[in-house]
Chains A and B, each alone.
Chain A
Amino acid sequence: MTNRRDFLKTGAAAGAFVLATPVLSRAEVFAQRLARQSALPAMDPATKELLVEALDAATSGGASFADARIGRYRNNFVITREQQIVNVVDTDTMGVGVRVLVNGTWGFGASRNLTKEGVVAAAKEALSIARANALPAADRVRLAPATPTPDGRYVTPHTVDPFTVPIEQKADLLIRANAEAMKVPGVKFVNSNMFFVKEEKNYANTEGTFTTQTIIRSWLPFAATAVKPDFSDFQTRTNVMQPAARGYEFLTESQPVQNARKWGEEAAEKLGAKPVEVGRYDLVLHPTHLWLTIHESVAHPTELDRAMGYEANYAGTSFLAPPREKLGTFRYGPPIMNIQGDREQEGGCSTIGWDDDGVKPDKFLIIKNGVVNDYQTTREQAPMLDWWYERQQKPVRSHGCSHSDSWSDVAFQRMPNVSLLPGEKDLSYEDVIAATDKGIAIVGDGSFSIDQQRYNAQFGGQLFYEIKGGKIAGQLKDVAYQMRTPDFWNAMDLIGGKKSYEMGASFFDGKGQPGQVNAVSHGCVPARFRNINVINTGRKA
């Protein structure tokens, strides 16, 4: 482990902050945040100069609005199996993306050429595309107002920058974890990786916003596979650790070496698990599983671009449309269902300082007491709901959901962290199981599939436990549940409280054409769903 002195030596100031501990008062936390903000590095002057060049080229070429992003995106992968390192890969890409609005029509140009000529060429490319695509007057893009941020600075709170940790340490941790899992009889294979992301993003727009941000994310995918000696069955336990927007400390705190044997045992036990009988069951879904169901069946349908038809050709539209017929009236689930969008939860993979429109995101309730209350928006989208915000006496503002996965891709609406808020009673996962007479508890995310309007979904999982009389009665296998989204959420009748809240995350959520990925977290509590259709997936022919 890198010690603090070494880290400060190599890591300079960026991110060298210990997180606020929970005992601090609100005022103290605020004071710390302010101190942290002022200690963060300012935008590199050479970068700022190029951003201004790009914006000048855009405005002198006729853009009414323009923004430019210069970013460096780095990944580090360490790939292992059993007792060997398969590969170590470092990727690094840098460039500029310039977006312009000419007569209400977007254009975008991007280049890895970070010179004055390069950024001007990207701006010109964007201008020529905007002119070629000129929209009729009625279709022109309108942006919601946003307060300019002249000097925004943000760094993902973390203790250890993963890019400062020596490769031997990373390899050693994985190999030791693999060895522990391999000690379990029946476990024949282990695949484990480390995956780190560091995005250094600089943004400027023609309204006077300049932000510089460093985003860090870490993940340790791990899979143990048990194989029957006669090759008649094999079972894998995977998705054991969630990704997070945190440093290397997140991986070590999760104790992969100490937990690996348990993961191996869970894989081996699956070989002997009882195949599920098809039928209807009460499901108790653990947060390590439920986050993905929320992602697919709540977070995606409440993206405003989907509801308005902008993703019709790829990711799809939404059953939650048109917004005029759904906002304030559509019952998504029971009154205990409150779903929040935010980009500020510490560790949340979507957490940032400013989005790729230059907007400071806010926290907003998407589902309020079971009823649809809002959609995820960007500056271009918020005006589409002006009637609703006016009725609510709220300003028409973006929720800060604009995101681009690289300098080379255009920003569009992506998910904030979308989370199920805890219930009033402080129930645990065990409490929810104890309250359930007959059902199945599901831990960990598995296979997932949902239609293009987010109605019909099928989810598998990692571990399935039969519940009898409020107690776990052994492992099941070949379990998947099928659902229709509003029916499913309205079948939720019991949820956990604060102490059972956990975050799960997707490192690679795909959307858009050309395809882009983003990372997003979903906080949730365990929850029970009554009378859900369960199928057996263990077909032989």
Chain B
Amino acid sequence: MSGPRSLFETGHVASPDDMMSRAAAQAFLERVVKLSKADTIDAQLSGGYTGNIRFAANRISTSGGVTNSQLVVQSGYGARHAVVTTGDFSPEGIERAVRQSEAIAKLVPEDPENMPLLPPQTYSDVNAYFDSTAHLSPAERAAAAHTAIDASREAGDLAAAGFIVAGSNFNAIASTTGLYAYHASTSANYQLTVRTDDGTGSGWAGADHPDWKQIDFKAVSDRAIAKARRSRNPVAVEPGRYTVILEPQAVADLVQLLAFALDARSADEGRSAFSKHGGGTRIGEKIVDSKVTLFSDPADAQLLGQPWNGEGLPLQREVWIENGTLRQLAYSRFWARKKNARPNGGLGAVKMAGGDATTEQMIASTERGILVTRLWYLRQVDPRTELYTGLTRDGTSLIEQGKVTKAVKNLRFNESPLFMLNNLEMLGRPERVAGTEAGGNVVFPTLKVRDFNFTSLSDAV
């Protein structure tokens, strides 16, 4: 397995089109499954094309186009299993991956938590594939980038930096049980930062949708430019507790992180914010304000997620927090069996229900507060409370007596989404956001919350 060897000792064949149809992927995976000599095999195939363009200081910097596919093979002997992945789709390359996963699986100790493979399942259909995105040319991406570059150049005192990435992708899974799932999707994501040349202002805006046509490049550019101008010459405010109006991006930046913690097993084990003192979990407890409902639903028109997870388990609407009450936690198949619960596939695409308030109404109702565009560099500080730290970035303003009055310097917070969602005052309409650190399909509303905990000032623009 080691040492100098030709990369081509097995001979590579020209790859098929890396965006495979449902039928082609199925035929491919059936061949993989047939190769198996193990008790079980499950094989996952993914592939596609992604094109991107990047720009900074009002000029295009690096850009690329990538064609890639991957086969993931898991072989099982009783409760022993191992995974091998490969991008070598020659008959020899595929066979080698299968044999290697069998060889490793035979050697590893038995996994006491091993679950039998799922039998064939029925899946809902989510249409997240758009021709407008799949057939983009480099020239179309460049033209989109120029909406911001040209506007910033023409302004004379602005520098635009941004990233546009768009492509098509498919995922498929098949196994010895006859299970087969396939999902094709496209994605387009745009994020833009505009800075003022005097170095005192920075504004961010973004858009994300599977359909390229739904991304309004000019609107994103206008928004980032306006935020950059408004954020110039920020003043310092004392760190402390503030009423804040968090735009959907800022809400998603913080609250999406709860998805990693809404896990049943760690709660049952006593090492989670959702563990109950004295034992058990907090399921059924009212944990946040009754205006909060958090759910996953691949079929939601704003989410458009994949309707099955990595094991081929169908995903449906799952409500995690309903009117402030913790309804359920994410159960793996193993933990569900142990706890006599239903395996629910966990949190993938996630959405928080909203309200009717406009941002203008929230501002008008605020005596003194801070309007936040987005949050940055969020890291967990205390898993017992889901306390995170991070900073505001790219457009932070002071609200006084119902009006946005001036730009303020960025602030570091130490805050838990659980504490914050208990201090909720108003909710806006949910929007799909483009720029969370964790990524994915994420939809959150604008929120007005009180007593948000800022702990220090930052000189960063």
Contacts and interface: CB of A to CB of B under 8 A. Distances in A.
B144 to A, nearest CB: 11
Contact of A10 (B3, B50, B56, B192): B3
Given A12-B4, A44-B4, A231-B270, A453 B109 contact: no
Interface stretch (A26-34, A131-139, A249-257, A332-340): A131-139
A511 B343 CA distance: 35
A129 B14 contact: no
Contacts of B53: 129, 133
A22 to B, nearest CB: 27
Contacts of A128: 138
A449 B455 CA distance: 13
A46 B204 CA distance: 47
B264 interface: no
A198 B84 CA distance: 15
B141 A132 contact: yes
B24 interface: no
A456 B456 contact: yes
A450 B390 CA distance: 7
A88 B165 CA distance: 32
A231 to B, nearest CB: 4
A452 B379 CA distance: 14
B67 A110 contact: yes
Interface stretch (A162-170, A425-433, A497-505, A521-529): A162-170
Contacts of B387: 537, 539
B198 interface: no
B14 A313 contact: no
Main secondary structure of the interface of A (DSSP, over half): mixed
A455 B383 CA distance: 26
Contact of A231 (B204, B275, B456, B460): B275
B410 interface: yes
A347 B385 CA distance: 38
B56 A447 contact: no
Contacts of B18: 112
A11 interface: yes
A449 B159 contact: no
A109 B64 contact: yes
A231 B455 CA distance: 29
Contacts of A319: 459-460
Nearest to B64: A108
Interface stretch (A58-66, A91-99, A356-364): A91-99
B82 A88 contact: yes
A451 interface: yes
Interface in B79-114: 81-88, 97, 100-101, 104-105, 107-109, 111-113
Interface stretch (A114-122, A416-424, A435-443): A114-122
A434 interface: no
Nearest to A43: B4
Interface string B384-423: 1101011101000000000000000010101010010010
Contacts of B193: 312-313
Contacts of B380: 447
B2 to A, nearest CB: 4
B2 A12 contact: yes
B195 interface: yes
Interface stretch (B37-45, B177-185, B276-284): B276-284
B419 A541 contact: yes
A232 B384 CA distance: 9
Interface string A397-423: 000000000001110100000000000
A537 B163 contact: no
A310 B104 contact: no
B23 interface: no
B271 A309 contact: no
Given A84-B113, A482-B412, 6 more contacts: A46-B6, A112-B67, A167-B82, A168-B107, A231-B275, A312-B57
Interface of B: 1-8, 12-15, 18, 50-54, 56-57, 59-70, 81-88, 97, 100-101, 104-105, 107-109, 111-113, 137-139, 141-142, 159, 161-163, 165, 191-193, 195, 202, 204, 269-271, 275-279, 376-385, 387, 389-391, 393, 410, 412, 414, 416, 419, 422, 455-461
13 contacts: A44-B8, A84-B111, A85-B108, A89-B82, A108-B64, A110-B68, A111-B68, A164-B1, A319-B460, A410-B62, A453-B460, A456-B391, A456-B457
